[in-house]
Structure 1
Amino acid sequence: MSTATARSTVPFSRESLELVLKRRFFFAPSFDIYGGVSGLYDYGPPGCAFQANIVDTWRKHFILEEDMLEVDCTMLTPHDVLKTSGHVDKFSDWMVRDLKTGEIFRADHLVEEVFEARLKGDKAARGVATEAKEDEDKKKRKKKVKEIQNIKLDDDVVTEYESILAQIDGYSGPQLGELIVKHNITNPANGNALSPPVEFNLMFETAIGPSGQLKGYLRPETAQGQFLNFAKLLDFNNEKMPFASASIGKSFRNEISPRAGLLRVREFLMAEIEHYVDPEDKSHPRFEEIKDIKLKFLPKNIQESGSNELSEVTVGEAVASGMVDNQTLGYFIARIYLFLIKIGVDKNRLRFRQHMSNEMAHYAADCWDAELQSSYGWIECVGCADRSAYDLSVHSAKTNEKLVVRQPLAEPKVVEEFDVEIAKKKFGPKFRKDAGAVEKWLLTRTQCELEDLATELKDNGKITFSVEGVEGKIELDTEFVNIEKKSKSVHIREFTPNVIEPSFGIGRIIYSIFEHQFWARPEDADRGVLSLPPLVAPTKALLVPLSNSAELRPVVKKVSEYLRSEKVPFKVDDSSASIGKRYARNDELGTPFGITIDFDSVKDESVTLRERDSTKQVRGSYVQVIDAIKAITYEGASWAEATAKLTPFESQSGDA
């Protein structure tokens, strides 16, 4: 039986996977003996090693291959920084509360859960076989959910539910409230009525310093530190454009109702890239390398029509048609795909979903999420957005620091720019001590802001604005200020770069890979296998002496020393369990190779090499075997290529 056939024989069981992950201590709830805190997890030895290997692969795949500049910024962020970026005002989710018990739900997730339960019940009523797969939270609601199962829905209701689910990420709080009322959505556990949705800011607030006067937050992302260091990075890069910075570190989000294990947590590892590009030239020099890669896209117009039908086209075709905004964005989408496949994501359960018009940030030119399919549905694991010049522009305007690129022009160029003319003699009597602050505010506006102010001045005959530190609203008419476009000759081109931002949620990727690579042996459904790629597997080889005989110990020591010298992570299992059982428990850990030392090894230093998924075995000298392991793990060789000079071996130990 082929490995692919064996993997598809036993149906996937999330319960079996979670038992393995907990038993083998890949991760566990934090503060477990104190009852735990939802949304917080600790990684055990194999989980730590797996995460470290993924991060190492990420660094090599992106930072090394793309010549990026890595920075490590503080997790504590002052209030003013996140106020400027928009997080203080807008970094929120919508929550609803059980009016009797006070239980809190995230509104969009609750609507999604109830609609999916009703659709499942409709399918059951229509005679379509379904199998309920409920996580721990859903089990608590099992009794109530059963009441709405096996109820046939009208065809138009089914269509409406499916359309809403296809667009659920784009609904505002008031719209979610309307859905809850219209479709009679209550607390699934007890049927209690719910409050209207209210916004909840997801950032953890703190005070910096003993006085408590400097308000701050634990960062919700790693991006802001990169933007604030832009000028230093540009200088480090010898003023060359385009270039990219990168950062790997912890971020924090105070999730409303954390569920689904590692998929929705309050502290998590992020890996983010900020690629700075000329807004007038978003081509990419290496686009030709990836343009023929075919990917599954879910564009916004399809979602907005209420469908989830995928469009499978090459990256080159997606960019040429305008579906993906530009070459650099398309290039990174393809590179994200190649990285995810390399570390163990099933390409058949990966899609790129475009943000819909009502969920895309107002400043973004385009945004795509790499979503991975799991037993919890499609999960956003990587975001890839063209954020235009928003981030650098707002921080520049706030701090009066120029976060721009200056490039000499071969020939002078005539440009049209908005210019502010201030009647300075009238400012003094009008604003007195605040005159300088108001004047500075006007002179530090971006071209986009000046365009809006010019339109306001023309349409209303005045402009109205607020200046920090100045009391009340400020109104100025044409007697005090004039804003209009003027032509001027320039020798230096000064521009604010646009930013392409790939952002990776490492924990979500890790869990999705667990689901994509977990299966059970057909001959024994209790023998779980985690088929992690050798490159990222926590341990590469299991060293298994046939017995505890003192005669084998010198060979075990010699092979161990060689594995260490070759930097191949390994473990020794010299327990009294059978070889089959020893291999079985390491199959659960994702260990791709086993090295068996027997009494023939004492004579000629030969050992047996076992491959985890197929259980194929070959024999050769321990040096040849370890060279084969290195070739497969680090050089991308296939099993057949790496073991071509080794002798096929039939197991006598009962291992399967």
Structure 2
Amino acid sequence: MSVSEIQQAKKTVEFSRESLEAVLRGRFFYAPAFESYGGVSGLYDYGPPGCAFQANVVDLWRKHFVLEEGMLEVDCTMLTPYEVLKTSGHVDKFSDWMCKDTKTGEIFRADHIVEEVLEARLKGDREARGLGAKPVEEESADKKKRKKKVKEIKVVKLEDDVVKEYETTLAKIDGFSGPELGELMVKYNIGNPVTGDKLEPPIAFNLMFETAIGPSGQLKGYLRPETAQGQFLNFNKLLEFNNGKTPFASASIGKSFRNEISPRAGLLRVREFLMAEIEHFVDPLDKSHPKFDEVKDIKLRFLPRDVQEAGATEPVVKTIGEAVASNMVDNETLGYFIGRIYMFLMKIGVDHDRLRFRQHMANEMAHYAADCWDAELHTSYGWIECVGCADRSAFDLTVHSNKTKEKMVVRQKLETPIEVTKYEIDLVKKLFGPKFRKDAPKVESYLLNMTQDQLAVKAKELADTGKITFSVPEVEGELELDDKFVTIEERTRVEHVREFVPNVIEPSFGIGRIIYAVFEHSFWSRPEDAARGVLSFPPLVAPSKVLLVPLSNNKELQPIVSKVSTTLRKAEIPFKVDDSGVSIGKRYARNDELGTPFGVTIDFDSVQDGSVTLRERDSTKQVRGSIEEIIEAIRQIAYKGVTWDEGTKNLKPFVSQEAK
């Protein structure tokens, strides 16, 4: 089969999630954790092929980003004290919106329930109009998994303006706040999709797992919801390690934890998962990137916020260079990492046509972020966010610096000294103790850490009224100081060193979600036998590279099996021997399900002339050559990225005597 024939074969048999899951669970790529005890929703174990595939994806991620970009990798603790996550905003804001059935006590995630019900009504409308089922690519995330719980969809024709309103609402679903979701539930009369019972208004549910550190239980903590905070808190050490130079990037790979409200969709929404995150620290006045030319001509499918706000989902196709030049993407460094994310996803087997980059809408994006794009992959569950790429400005380092009183800044020696005019505040500290008593240090700290914008406002207030009023966290009531206590004025100084808090560009990868999307993008069934599933993993990330198949258990073949095994082992090429009594065709078929890209057959001709047969998984093409020639071809194709035709051009075509 040619490449085009393989692509056609993949389209011939309709994709079946049930068939894929049967393969993934049957071959122990993964399984529900604690299954013997009934399992726990949102927790999964990886089996041998799943572990190997994940390890290969992580290894490629590390080479593609950490090694190629010269990043500084750290491994930080998963247990995180309360104060760290309070400062970062996670304690107050790391939440999803949930609503409860007042009768059954069942919990629903608010955005999912709105999405589910509106999708169901639109499906009923399509059926009433005789338009048939909605195309798979338009179905929303988690919808198919939840269908079994939804009462029978009413086939009712909707007014055209209602259909348009529903579609617009669904296009904006990621941007609604909790109260807005509650208003939608009232407006569209959305209740429990099974019973129809009323649901309580949405309330925020913090997704972090709380724990106590130490035997006393007095040190409150959490299992980290991301790997980023450890990187921010080690910024000064990393900057020193990098000889004080910016830009530079840190990277971290490790487990994170989120107490999902209602985990569904298998590996896509879990409570414990592997993350790979990058924090690229850059000068806020210069967000250009020296390697931007390497990605500027990559053409991608973008879904910018203005398209979403108009209620549409049709992507805009542009090169990364065009996206940055038009200010659709905020800056070169952000655009560069979007390009690198795309290149990585292509290497591990993501389907180019099922990838888009969606921009966060204004009410969806953190207030401090300059821009944020999600790499979304299409699966049978709909479009799934798998990678986030955000310009987080200077927020993280600033809040941790303010809290700990430890400066997290870059000091840049200036070739030419410059005059800098800025507001400065002076405190008459001897008066603070009698006035504020035990709260005096908190008040002083608050005033001394005000930003230039805050100082400008307070300087005007002090000049106009002779006093300033303000509030300090953890100090009760509004506070007031007059000019006996404080002076705020603009001063001009000559500076020889520029001091700045770097901005952060953060690509964040959900490895489990990416892996599942690759499973779907790689899975197909052979047209001649739909029961024969194939996982067409790129050889570089396939769990095992070679299936070693002796024609029979005849003792004459064993020395050749041992020789090939030893040669593969020395070449560090993962392989598996299958000497079971079933036919070669069946042995190959069950390893096609494991995604094994190559098969090496040892027969009685191998005993005579030392030659073996090499089979390619997708096309089932076979060639013949010496052991050394075959293994070199495998090495070139699997690790050097050469094509099958190029890697086997010096080998002889071979026609099997048995069904392939």
Bin of the TM-score, shorter chain as denominator length: over 0.9
Task: Report if the CA contact (8 A) 2:359-2:374 is conserved.
Answer: yes
1:608 matched residue in structure 2: 613
1:330 to 335, 341, 366: 335
Task: Report if the CA contact (8 A) 2:615-2:622 is conserved.
Answer: yes
Task: Report if the CA contact (8 A) 1:397-1:446 is conserved.
Answer: no
1:107 matched residue in structure 2: 110
SS in 2 for 1:335: helix
2:393 to 381, 388, 391: 388
**Does 1:127 find its partner at 2:130?**
yes
2:269 to 241, 246, 264: 264
1:626 to 623, 631, 639: 631
Q: Which string of whole-angstrom CA distances, capped at 9 and with x for unpartnered residues, describes residues 171-227 of structure 1?
A: 000100011111011111111110100010000000000000000000000000000
SS in 2 for 1:147: coil
Task: Report if the CA contact (8 A) 2:144-2:381 is conserved.
Answer: no
How many Å separate the matches in 1 of 2:277 and 2:647? Answer: 35
Identity %: 71
Q: Which amino acid in the other structure matches residue 49 of structure 2?
A: P
Trace 1:500-511 onto structure 2 (pairs within 5 A). Answer: 500-511=505-516
Task: Report if the CA contact (8 A) 2:30-2:45 is conserved.
Answer: yes
Task: Give the deviation of 1:437 after TM superposition.
Answer: 3.9
Q: Which amino acid in the other structure matches residue 71 of structure 1?
A: V
How many Å separate the matches in 2 of 1:195 and 1:203? Answer: 22
Q: Which string of whole-angstrom CA distances, capped at 9 and with x for unpartnered residues, describes residues 109-133 of structure 1?
A: 1111111111122112211222798
Structure-2 change in CA distance of 1:340 and 1:601 (3 Å): same
Structure-2 change in CA distance of 1:639 and 1:486 (3 Å): same
Trace 1:329-478 onto structure 2 (pairs within 5 A). Answer: 329-451=334-456, 453-454=458-459, 461-468=467-474, 470=475, 472-478=477-483
1:562 to 561, 567, 570: 567
Task: Give the deviation of 1:139 after TM superposition.
Answer: 4.5
2:214 matched residue in structure 1: 209
How many Å separate the matches in 1 of 2:461 and 2:595? Answer: 63
Task: Give the deviation of 1:623 after TM superposition.
Answer: 1.0
SS in 2 for 1:248: strand
Trace 1:499-538 onto structure 2 (pairs within 5 A). Answer: 499-538=504-543
Task: Report if the CA contact (8 A) 1:220-1:252 is conserved.
Answer: yes
2:64 to 56, 61, 66: 61
Task: Report if the CA contact (8 A) 2:121-2:153 is conserved.
Answer: no
**Does 1:591 find its partner at 2:596?**
yes
2:83 to 54, 62, 80: 80
Task: Give the deviation of 1:583 after TM superposition.
Answer: 0.4
How many Å separate the matches in 2 of 1:22 and 1:373? Answer: 21
2:43 matched residue in structure 1: 40
Task: Give the deviation of 1:433 after TM superposition.
Answer: 4.7
SS in 1 for 2:153: helix
Task: Give the deviation of 1:484 after TM superposition.
Answer: 3.8
2:157 matched residue in structure 1: 152
Task: Give the deviation of 1:454 after TM superposition.
Answer: 4.7
**Does 1:24 find its partner at 2:30?**
no
Structure-2 change in CA distance of 1:319 and 1:132 (3 Å): closer
Task: Report if the CA contact (8 A) 2:471-2:477 is conserved.
Answer: no
1:141 to 144, 149, 153: 149
SS in 1 for 2:252: strand
2:121 matched residue in structure 1: 118
Task: Report if the CA contact (8 A) 1:546-1:597 is conserved.
Answer: yes
SS in 1 for 2:552: coil
Task: Report if the CA contact (8 A) 1:10-1:521 is conserved.
Answer: yes
**Does 1:92 find its partner at 2:115?**
no
How many Å separate the matches in 2 of 1:456 and 1:128? Answer: 65
How many Å separate the matches in 1 of 2:273 and 2:479? Answer: 43
Structure-2 change in CA distance of 1:297 and 1:139 (3 Å): closer
Gaps of 5+ in 2: 137-141
Q: CA RMSD, aligned part only?
A: 1.6
Q: Which string of whole-angstrom CA distances, capped at 9 and with x for unpartnered residues, describes residues 433-465 of structure 1?
A: 543442233223343554565566678852212
1:246 matched residue in structure 2: 251
Structure-2 change in CA distance of 1:570 and 1:509 (3 Å): same
1:645 matched residue in structure 2: 650
How many Å separate the matches in 2 of 1:24 and 1:519? Answer: 16
Q: Which amino acid in the other structure matches residue 555 of structure 2?
A: A
Task: Give the deviation of 1:651 after TM superposition.
Answer: 1.1
Task: Give the deviation of 1:309 after TM superposition.
Answer: 1.6
How many Å separate the matches in 1 of 2:191 and 2:442? Answer: 52
**When the two structures are superposed, what TM-score results if normalisation uses the length of structure 2?**
0.96
Q: Which amino acid in the other structure matches residue 395 of structure 1?
A: H
Structure-2 change in CA distance of 1:481 and 1:74 (3 Å): same
Aligned length: 651
Task: Give the deviation of 1:342 after TM superposition.
Answer: 0.4
Task: Give the deviation of 1:473 after TM superposition.
Answer: 4.2
**When the two structures are superposed, what TM-score results if normalisation uses the length of structure 1?**
0.97
2:195 matched residue in structure 1: 190
Task: Report if the CA contact (8 A) 1:607-1:621 is conserved.
Answer: yes
How many Å separate the matches in 1 of 2:216 and 2:375? Answer: 43
How many Å separate the matches in 2 of 1:570 and 1:364? Answer: 47
2:183 matched residue in structure 1: 178
How many Å separate the matches in 1 of 2:20 and 2:134? Answer: 17
Task: Give the deviation of 1:467 after TM superposition.
Answer: 4.8
Q: Which amino acid in the other structure matches residue 243 of structure 2?
A: N
**Does 1:277 find its partner at 2:277?**
no
Structure-2 change in CA distance of 1:119 and 1:467 (3 Å): closer
Structure-2 change in CA distance of 1:194 and 1:63 (3 Å): same
How many Å separate the matches in 2 of 1:568 and 1:527? Answer: 26
Structure-2 change in CA distance of 1:157 and 1:380 (3 Å): same
